[in-house]
A and B are shown apart, each in its own frame.
Chain A
Amino acid sequence: MQRLKLFLPLLVFALLAAVFFGVERRVQTGDYAPTDLPSALIDKPLPDFVEPALSDGRPINKSQIVGEIFLLNVWATWCPTCHFEHPFLLKLAAEGVKIVSIDYKDDADAAKRWLAEKGDPYFLTLFDEDGSLGLDLGVTGAPETYLVDAAGVVRFRYQGALEKKVWDKEFAPRIAGLNAKDSDQ
């Protein structure tokens, strides 16, 4: 018994090594991102707002965009990752996904040029010049994408670029779930 006690440190080491290895694996496969901050808005209604549209500056409020499941995408022209994710957003829009966007702390002319040149996947773009709407949403940077259900409740928030892998894993099952629940009622 006394002999076996000598192996205790080794056992602790092996256990810790296994835990760290497991976490590291999950980081590598993208299952776990330690820098991601859980959104405080999950399962809470989208905050009320009145924000100008990027295109013509008319004020838009929450009731004008809520009503069906949609994505709320936070982007800006100064954000390199947003360039990367843009083609995928165009593809989603072509598939019929409703995407509302927030142009976050950006230059209006540059943003308009961006949409004109690269294509506009958005149902509507809100222009959040000072980041106040971003603050209300708990945005920490761009890009971020919120999944909002038909009742205007935030169901999921993703920090980082949307791409097919993320979409298939995180968004598609949740949207399917929400659709199934809606058809039940």
Chain B
Amino acid sequence: MKALLLSCILALFSIAAAAVIETYQFDTPLQQQRYHAFIEELRCPKCQNQNLSGSDSAISKDLRRQLHSMIMDGKSDIEITQYMVARYGDFILYRPRFSSQTAVLWLMPIGLLLLGSLVWWRMASSRKRVQLPVDEALSQSDQERLRALLDDDDNAERVEERS
């Protein structure tokens, strides 16, 4: 059991091992932090859904190298983002800026949430309406039918006891 647990925990770490290992030198921990933040946030243009840190494609390598040299040159985050977007468009940003083209991406979740709550609200309110009034007095004929059924049951029980 312990061994199984241990292997499960170890398996969690294998994801980190799959990330690309490159040795770039930085002067300050902040530069390194910014580099890692960028390669997590920037998307590989050649791949469909991988960030720069996870991709081994040639273009990702180039972009990582470019990113490193831009950080070492003291470029600001905004300058780096602008540089990347000017070349690869909004696609490269995992968190695209809000524009007419990306509006659908940003607004769709809110729209779907509203739609969902609307449907839920309509269903809840219609269920309330459908609920029948329960404590309505039974009509004369229903009363008689009920009594007959109950009597039937009583008779049946007596028959069972006797046998």
Which chain A residues border B46 with CB–CB below 8 Å?
A: 140-141
Chain A residues with a Cβ under 8 A of chain B: 34-35, 37-41, 105, 130-131, 134-141
> Cβ of B59 and Cβ of A40 under 8 Å apart?
no
> Cβ of B66 and Cβ of A135 under 8 Å apart?
yes
Q: Which of A38, A41, A140 contacts B59 (CB 8 A)?
A: A140
**Which of B20-28, B33-41, B85-93 contacts the other chain?**
B85-93
Give the size category of B's interface with A.
10 to 19
A35-B48, A141-B59 given; 12 more Cβ-contact pairs under 8 Å: A34-B48, A37-B45, A38-B91, A40-B85, A131-B62, A135-B87, A138-B88, A138-B89, A140-B45, A140-B46, A140-B59, A140-B88
In the complex, B58 has a CB within 8 A of chain A: yes
Given known A-B contacts A135-B63, A135-B66, A39 and B45 have beta carbons under 8 A apart: no
CA of A41 to CA of B87, assembled, Å: 7
Which chain A residue shows the least CB distance to B63?
Answer: A135
Shortest Cβ gap from A142 to chain B (Å): 10
State the majority secondary structure of interface residues on B: helix
Given known A-B contacts A135-B62, A135-B66, A141-B59, A38 and B89 have beta carbons under 8 A apart: yes
Which chain A residue shows the least CB distance to B66?
Answer: A135
Q: Which of A34, A39, A135, A137 contacts B89 (CB 8 A)?
A: A39
Which chain B residues border A105 with CB–CB below 8 Å?
A: 58
Which chain A residue shows the least CB distance to B86?
Answer: A40
Considering residues B48, B59, B87, B91, which has the most beta carbons from chain A within 10 angstroms of its beta carbon? B87
CA of A38 to CA of B48, assembled, Å: 13
Which chain A residue shows the least CB distance to B44?
Answer: A140
> Cβ of A37 and Cβ of B89 under 8 Å apart?
yes
> Cβ of B87 and Cβ of A40 under 8 Å apart?
yes
Shortest Cβ gap from A107 to chain B (Å): 14
Which chain B residues border A39 with CB–CB below 8 Å?
A: 89
Given known A-B contacts A140-B45, A141-B46, A37 and B62 have beta carbons under 8 A apart: no
CA of A131 to CA of B57, assembled, Å: 13
> Cβ of B87 and Cβ of A137 under 8 Å apart?
yes
> Cβ of B88 and Cβ of A37 under 8 Å apart?
yes
Which chain B residue shows the least CB distance to A40?
Answer: B89
> Cβ of A37 and Cβ of B87 under 8 Å apart?
no
Which chain B residue shows the least CB distance to A138?
Answer: B87
Which chain A residues border B86 with CB–CB below 8 Å?
A: 40
- The 3 closest A-B CB pairs, nearest first, are A40-B89, A138-B87, A140-B46
Which chain A residue shows the least CB distance to B90?
Answer: A40
Which chain A residues border B85 with CB–CB below 8 Å?
A: 40
> Cβ of B88 and Cβ of A40 under 8 Å apart?
yes
Which chain A residues border B62 with CB–CB below 8 Å?
A: 130-131, 134-135
Which chain B residues border A35 with CB–CB below 8 Å?
A: 48
Shortest Cβ gap from B124 to chain A (Å): 16
Considering residues A34, A38, A135, A136, which has the most beta carbons from chain B within 10 angstroms of its beta carbon? A135
Which chain A residues border B88 with CB–CB below 8 Å?
A: 37, 40, 138, 140
A-B contact pairs, 27 of them (CB 8 A): A34-B48, A37-B45, A38-B89, A38-B91, A39-B89, A40-B85, A40-B87, A40-B88, A40-B89, A41-B87, A105-B58, A130-B62, A131-B59, A134-B62, A135-B62, A135-B63, A135-B66, A135-B87, A137-B87, A138-B45, A138-B87, A138-B89, A139-B59, A140-B46, A140-B59, A141-B46, A141-B58
